[in-house]
Structure 1
Amino acid sequence: MWLTWRAAMERALYGPGGFYLRERPARHFRTSVGASPAFADAVIRLAERVDEELGHPDAFDLVDVGSGDGKLPALVLRGAPPRLAARLRITAVDLAPRPAGLDPRITWAAELPGRITGLVIANEWLDNVPVDVVEQTASGPRLVLVDPETGEERLGPPPSPEDLAWLARWWPLEEPGHRAEVGRPRDEAWASVIVRLSRGTAVAIDYAHRAGDRPPFGTLAGHRGGAPVPPVPDGSCDITAHVALDACAAAGERAGATATRLTTQREALRALGLRGARPPLELARRDPRGYVRALGRATEEAELLDPGGLGGFTWLTQSRGLRPAPRGRGSVEV
């Protein structure tokens, strides 16, 4: 049976018995959330900034899209300062079953809330939104079809007029054999976040590429058990592809975003207070245990900031309905 890659990914990841309905991401690949609690601390600082810009509403939404095992909202709930924690309304959005032992104050849902006032974090979510793969031929782009059981491919019909228009705008293919992943479903998924954001900020974090620097043969990949594997869409592995976040940004603006920024995770986390610097040796003499703890924290932060690893993620930050916060203690720019 031959399917488009979008249909094959949908079935393999989210169909009956699909990969993400039975697996937790932490079992298969390292994420920023799993690398260090410092990531959650940075999210807390960003939430404080957004809360200030919103004028401290009675309820502050924190929505974690593609929550996996719920670790990020659990860490935020545990570490948020009392002034914010008392008003937090946390929703973890995921299609997988609710993890055992998750704090009952965290709502587990398959869909986004209808209206959001606060902060949305979508960490490595858009890369798992299924997309079609196309290949340029002498007669124009053609859909790539795949056998879900073997991963074998062959060329199919041309893409839809809507996808051809997306390719022409965001990922024009110039030479036969060049490939692209059609990001239109991801644009729509991200726009669905922004339209629900009545006031606040939404952040999409993913490995990404921009117009003018697209990979000529695409980025489709598989992961299982902490190692790369061939992207066979049989439900046995994660299937992913990097995200055209610049196209998502334009979709977010059409959906109502009034402020946009694209930056690296390294730059964003440094603006939120992470440094990854070794503690002073003087601390080792005064407080050896404290020094060891500080050194461990610095090592974790350095991994989050590494431009060749997790620090190389792109952050798309979009807001609507915010007023500029006064510069002062705790103020950050992202």
Structure 2
Amino acid sequence: MERALYGDDGFYRRPGAGPAAHFRTSAHNPVFAEAVGRLLLQVDERLGHPDRLDFVDLAAGRGELAAGVAEWLTTRSPDTAARLRTIAVDLGPRPEGLPETVAWAAEAPDGIVGLLFANEWLDNVVCDVAEVDEDGVVRLVEVDPATGAERPGAPPDPAQRAWLARWWPLDGAGPGARAELGLDRDAAWRSAVGRLERGLAVAVDYSHTAASRPRFGTLTGYRDGHQVPPVPDGSCDITAHVALDACAAAVAAPSSGVGTVLTTQREHLRDLGISGTRPDLSQASTDPLGYLRGLSRASAAAELTDPDGLGAFGWLLTFSDC
């Protein structure tokens, strides 16, 4: 999975249109930039309007969200925009046409004061898969990188067994039951939050919690807008939903000034004032262009808050010393 996604010829290092050519995320919806901009204004207020306000877009794709947030803030709050340092973080080369006001980096900086935002990043952090075999023994799944063919491998190591016991127990599960181990995702989120000096880190992703783990896992692939088998040959995205409750526990430490909130995109965007409410029909006769713009915005907002779609994404908010 590591080589297939991030190796020299990996899926996320290939030139071209990037993830937008293969699947749609919230970052490709123009209203999402407004929502994140509103969140950034809240963070700025909570931090007491620091001289430099950071917005770090982690796993930025082609920088669509970073550019959109910076543009929205320039229009909505020029004073805030003047203090804004925007950094898009991704392993690929800097995209052509990205505004000069958006810096491009291969990793997040230390000492972030503001908002670190990771939209659909953790689902692409590598994870091992465990499966119950025909004898009821839990084993790691091995895969042929050329064909995707699977076979049972060794039992999980002690750290993996401990994670499974706490977050995704397979004891007593029948043959074929699977779990996607989140140790690497927990460590990745802990590392990302460690870059935050003061402010808020947000992970947005396909997710589940202990009460709703999928019996057979979620590992899959995407290519050219279609779901495909997760063959780790570099030709497709490989993704698995995230145990965000485990990620939250990996960073929560009240004594260190870190706290977490776990919610959904639908709920948090509504708290930010984003909804799919249509403009009043009477506006169509008095301001037809404004009415059409309102309809377009309402449609985009409805997509982001759809409880059976993007609205069901998990939001893990991690506050650090603010």
* TM-score, normalised by the number of residues in structure 2: 0.95
The 1:33/1:257 distance shift into structure 2, 3 A limit, reads: farther
1:196 positional shift: 1.5
Number of equivalent positions: 313
Q: Where do residues 160-309 of structure 1 align in structure 2 (5 Å cutoff)?
A: 160-173=157-170, 174-175=172-173, 176-254=175-253, 256=256, 258-309=258-309
- 1:60 corresponds to which letter in structure 2? L
Could you say what secondary structure the match of 1:55 adopts?
A: coil
1:121 positional shift: 0.5
- 1:225 corresponds to which letter in structure 2? D
- Picking from 24, 31, 45, the partner of 1:30 is 24
Report Cα offsets for 1:80-134 as digits up to 9, x if no partner. Answer: 0111101111111111111012112222111110111100110000000011011
Would the aligned equivalents of 1:277 and 1:298 in 2 still touch at CA under 8 Å? Answer: yes
> Is the counterpart of residue 51 in structure 1 residue 61 in structure 2?
no
What CA distance in whole angstroms lies between the structure 1 residues aligned with 2:159 and 2:91?
28
Could you say what secondary structure the match of 1:84 adopts?
A: helix
1:257 positional shift: 5.5
The aligned residue for residue 42 of structure 1 is: 35
> Is the counterpart of residue 67 in structure 1 residue 60 in structure 2?
yes
Q: Where do residues 85-96 of structure 1 align in structure 2 (5 Å cutoff)?
A: 85-96=81-92
Q: CA RMSD in A?
A: 1.2
1:79 positional shift: 1.2
- 2:106 corresponds to which letter in structure 1? A
Would the aligned equivalents of 1:12 and 1:233 in 2 still touch at CA under 8 Å? Answer: yes
The 1:18/1:296 distance shift into structure 2, 3 A limit, reads: same
Which deviates further from its counterpart, 135-144 or 112-121? 135-144
Q: Which runs of 5+ in 2 are unaligned?
A: none
What CA distance in whole angstroms lies between the structure 1 residues aligned with 2:257 and 2:19?
30
The 1:257/1:165 distance shift into structure 2, 3 A limit, reads: farther
Report Cα offsets for 1:146-172 as digits up to 9, x if no partner. Answer: 001101000011112111111111000
The aligned residue for residue 5 of structure 1 is: none
- 1:14 corresponds to which letter in structure 2? Y
- 1:197 corresponds to which letter in structure 2? L
Would the aligned equivalents of 1:146 and 1:152 in 2 still touch at CA under 8 Å? Answer: yes
Extract structure 1 runs of 4+ deviating beyond 4 A.
254-257
Would the aligned equivalents of 1:194 and 1:257 in 2 still touch at CA under 8 Å? Answer: no
* TM-score, normalised by the number of residues in structure 1: 0.91
- Picking from 6, 16, 28, the partner of 1:14 is 6
Which deviates further from its counterpart, 133-142 or 103-112? 133-142
- 2:247 corresponds to which letter in structure 1? C
1:193 positional shift: 1.2
- 1:155 corresponds to which letter in structure 2? P
Could you say what secondary structure the match of 1:58 adopts?
A: coil
- Picking from 136, 141, 152, the partner of 1:155 is 152
> Is the counterpart of residue 141 in structure 1 residue 131 in structure 2?
no
- 1:163 corresponds to which letter in structure 2? Q
What CA distance in whole angstroms lies between the structure 2 residues aligned with 1:203 and 1:66?
12
Could you say what secondary structure the match of 1:247 adopts?
A: helix
The aligned residue for residue 331 of structure 1 is: none
1:264 positional shift: 0.9
